[in-house]
Structure 1
Amino acid sequence: MSKTVLVTGCSSGFGRDIAKVFAAEGWNVAATMRTPEQETELHASDRMSVTRLDVQDRVSIDVAVASTLARFGSIDVLINNAGFGLFGVFEETTREKIHEQFEVNVFGMMDVTRAVLPALRKQRYGVVLNVSSGAGVFTLPMLSAYCASKFALEGFSEALSYELLPLGIRVKIVEPGGVTSTRFGERSGKEASHREPIADYAPFVEGAAQVFADLRAARGLATSEEVARVVFEAATDGTDRLRYLATKDIAPLVEARRQTSEEAYIEMMRSRFSPKM
């Protein structure tokens, strides 16, 4: 029998390409999204369901999980991909938007995981794969809420991995960064356009914008499809490995965070983002 994967956030970007990669490999795919009626590329077939699942709506989560199990008989891999990023200085970001950031990136991911775990426990095997970010390893200014949500995801995933491994369930974290072939930047820009700027931050924001522009110019050509392939390999490699770096462009910052001293790392980041007054 073919194995089954349930993927959240399939309306664009990583989620859509993850669904396509698994389908091409012969898997049953439950491609979930908030508005499946608007989907035009992923088509329902004998091996693919295009299903409504809004990570902020627990009823939709339960219905999507139950319908996947009823149709395909099992869920072998859960991929928590749904998420978005807030961009802007913290003080300009409303409390409501920060709550939404955590509702989607953290609590929604937890709720989907909770809904799938009974089936995985019954089987005594399976994989829970959470799509993180370079921003779950190192932090960047203007992304404080997003970094906080991805740090939370990383901590939750690592702790959960210890609980589930004795039950035959593996937890994986995939860390992409610097991919432009998604709608992540589009939504981040839209969210940033609704805030009122505070003049005192203007010099910092201007300097940080130039740093981000330089980083974008220096990026490699990693694509969403390449990240989807890393996700597939992580989900199917049969190992107990926890973390997978999905794009090479963030490797220097990941290495600096994980392999240099705290003092050297912080000094490097401060020197990059200190405004030239």
Structure 2
Amino acid sequence: MPKTVLITGTSSGVGYASVDLFAEAGWNVIATLRDPDKVPDFRHADQVMVLRLDVEDISSITAAVDAGIARFGRIDALVNNAGFGQYGLFEALDRDRIQRQFDVNVFGVMDVTRAILPHFRAKGGGVIVNVSSGAGIFGLPMISAYCASKFALDGFTEALSYELASQNIIAKLVIPHGGIDQTRFHERSAADFVSDDRLKDYDAFLARTRAMFGKMAGGRLMSAGYVAGVVVQAVTDDSRQLRYFVGDDARGFIKARQHNSDEDYMAHMRGFFEADMPG
């Protein structure tokens, strides 16, 4: 019997590319997305079941899991891909915006995972891959809420992996760092950038940091398909590897975080974001 994967956030980007790659590998795919009116065309439609799943709506999560099992008889892997980035100075973000960032990127992942765990335990195992970000390894200005949510996701996944190992369920992280093409993630996030005219004291910092992000965004983009290939690898390689980093680390953020002392890491990061600061 072919194996089955449930993927969240499949309307575009990494989620969309993952659907086709899994189907090409012979998997059945439960492709879920928030808006059923925006169902994309998948190349292997006979192997793909498209369902509404909004990670902020627990009833839609339960319904999608149940419908997928009813259709294919089993689910062998879960890819938590749905997410978004809230951009803006922390001081400009109200609590509701930060709450929604965590509702989608953290609590949504937890709710989808919780919904599928009884099925995995009953069948004797499964694989969970959470798609995170380099912003869950290193902090960046103007996306503090997003970083906080991805740091939480990283810690949650590692802690969960120890619990689930006792049930033959493997939890992993795929961590893209750098820009990804074929996705509207940054476009949507930039459009939702929160500003506050009362915070003029930050103007010089904002101008400098936006220029830095502009240079960073101008670098080579990874294809969504390339990242999706690592997602497929993480699901299928039968390893206990926890973190899969995807990107060339041109700015050295990952290397600095992993291999330097905390003092040297902070000096590296401040060289990017605190140059010419007073004091």
TM superposition score category, shorter chain reference: over 0.9
Aligned to 1:25: 25
Cα-Cα RMSD: 1.5
2:101 maps to 1:95: no
Percentage of matched positions with identical amino acids? 49
TM-score between both structures, scaled by the size of structure 1: 0.95
Aligned to 1:191: 192
Q: Quick one: distance in 2 between partners of 1:177 and 1:250? A: 10
The residue type equivalent to 1:211 in the other structure is M
Q: SS where residue 179 of structure 1 aligns? A: coil
Aligned to 1:211: 212
Q: SS where residue 115 of structure 1 aligns? A: helix
Q: Quick one: distance in 1 between partners of 2:252 and 2:271? A: 16
Q: Deviations over 1:54-88 (max 9, x none)?
A: 00000000000000000011110000000000111
Q: Deviations over 1:145-192 (max 9, x none)?
A: 000000000000000000011211101100002224111111111111
Aligned to 2:201: 200
Q: Quick one: distance in 1 between partners of 2:270 and 2:252? A: 16
Q: SS where residue 163 of structure 1 aligns? A: helix
Cα gap change, 1:239/1:221 in structure 2, threshold over 3 Å: closer, same or farther?
same
Within a 5 Å distance, the mapping from 1:173-192 to structure 2 comes to 173-181=173-181, 182-192=183-193
CA contact (8 A) 1:43 1:50 kept: no
Q: Tell me which moved more, 74-83 or 34-43.
A: 34-43
Q: Quick one: distance in 2 between partners of 1:133 and 1:64? A: 26
Aligned to 2:7: 7
CA contact (8 A) 2:30 2:68 kept: yes
Q: Quick one: distance in 1 between partners of 2:5 and 2:40? A: 20
Q: Quick one: distance in 2 between partners of 1:56 and 1:150? A: 17
Within a 5 Å distance, the mapping from 1:21-100 to structure 2 comes to 21-42=21-42, 45-100=45-100
CA contact (8 A) 1:179 1:222 kept: yes
Q: SS where residue 190 of structure 2 aligns? A: helix
CA contact (8 A) 1:207 1:274 kept: no
Q: Deviations over 1:221-265 (max 9, x none)?
A: 311110000000111000111000012236821110011000011
CA contact (8 A) 2:24 2:44 kept: no
CA contact (8 A) 2:179 2:217 kept: no
Q: Quick one: distance in 1 between partners of 2:43 and 2:258? A: 42
Per-residue deviation at 1:100?
A: 0.4
Q: SS where residue 252 of structure 2 aligns? A: helix
Q: Quick one: distance in 1 between partners of 2:195 and 2:44? A: 39
Q: Quick one: distance in 2 between partners of 1:228 and 1:263? A: 35
CA contact (8 A) 2:5 2:28 kept: yes
Aligned to 2:230: 230
Q: Tell me which moved more, 88-97 or 146-155.
A: 88-97
**Superposed structure 1 runs of 4+ greater than 4 Å apart:** none
The residue type equivalent to 1:50 in the other structure is V
Per-residue deviation at 1:37?
A: 2.5
Q: Deviations over 1:117-167 (max 9, x none)?
A: 001001111101000000011111111000000000000000000001121
Aligned to 1:163: 163
Q: Quick one: distance in 1 between partners of 2:93 and 2:216? A: 24
Q: SS where residue 11 of structure 2 aligns? A: coil
The residue type equivalent to 1:196 in the other structure is D
Aligned to 1:152: 152
Aligned to 2:244: 244
Q: SS where residue 173 of structure 2 aligns? A: strand
Q: Quick one: distance in 1 between partners of 2:235 and 2:207? A: 41
Q: Quick one: distance in 1 between partners of 2:44 and 2:244? A: 30
CA contact (8 A) 1:10 1:33 kept: yes
Q: SS where residue 5 of structure 2 aligns? A: strand
CA contact (8 A) 1:5 1:76 kept: yes
Per-residue deviation at 1:50?
A: 0.6
Q: SS where residue 17 of structure 1 aligns? A: helix
Structure 2 portions without partners, runs of 5+: none
